[in-house]
Structure 1
Amino acid sequence: MSEETQHLVKALRRIREKPLDSTDDLAVRRGEFVSVLNRIYGPGSPQEQQVNRIKYYRRVGSGSISMGGAVSGFAVSENFAECKKRLHGLIDGAVEELESLGLPTKPSPASSGLSVSVNQTVNLNVVIEAVKDELTGQQLKELREALSEPGTPEQKRSRVLEKAKSFGSDVASNILAGIITNPQILGSI
């Protein structure tokens, strides 16, 4: 188990061992647990959603008041014990998962496997749109096939260059012009 995983397991166990005797404790433990879950899975994970579905309620049923002011028939129900049990169960499950499987791998932010910032994503989209605007459907298909064939990045680059040359010099020039004259790019040149 990695050192990071050990620290996370230890943090979860500390949360599990803290007193959970009131609704205030419940709210604090939920917050602490969600904080650790966000470090493990990222915000909005299914695990966080499960914790957020733990809702405490206290209901008072109807009854009657006699002439002397005595109250009868009021029933109070609450789900604190159930909330506590569910929270402890989720914490125990997270500990077991980390101990047996380790930390989950986090998906990369871009589908192509590139790690890009917001500005780079916009610029990448400009390039992709310029290519799509200038190539025919058949040409795009040929480029995709050249890229999907096995090989090193250098071999793929060579195949793409050969394909681009076969489309004619006008196509490459038009793609470059489309990229450079795009308002999102033009301002940064």
Structure 2
Amino acid sequence: MLTVGSQPTLNERIARVLIQSGTRRPVVKSMSRVPDPKIDQMYTQEIGRNSTSGQLPSSLEWFTKTHRIQMHAAFLLLAYRRIHKSLRSGTYEGMMPDSIPRIAFTRTLTWYHEICGGQDNAIISSQRLYTLIRTFADAQSINQRGNEAAEIKLHHCATCKLPLIVPRHYTEYHCAEHKPKGRRSTKG
């Protein structure tokens, strides 16, 4: 427990940001590494109640449901990669290398909520972002090849080069603006 005048640890700061962003307990625990009793206490302090319960979303197909979701997911992956790379190449006093993915996730989520005008306007929840980032494992696998085991990949529209998340088996894909007449997309 924090005492008057004490500074929260990096893990506690990550947990606090995630809780304030509407993130559910399993993701907060995984990303912050704060002990269970402390997480419960922080939920009560920050939002006045415990985290909602239930299974976390795990469907990767969801990221390909609509053009809007595909775009948001792709931009979030690219933002995460940029933030991760920046943290890795920077010299931040006292930052442990294993903290970089957790900080990059938290900063990506915060940035996304700012861009969307708040978490209520965000299309992709923090839980879905966690699933997406975890699928690609690290910033190195976020490229056109993606994660070999995943059913989705980061791809670009064949016409305008807009980044999108698409099903893994697609070899060519056109965004909603440039799709060929009579077809939703081109499969490989």
Query: TM-score range, shorter-chain basis?
Result: under 0.3
Higher Cα Rg: structure 1 or 2?
1
TM-score by length of 1: 0.23
* Structure with more helix by fraction: 1
Higher relative contact order (CA 8 A, sep 6+): 2
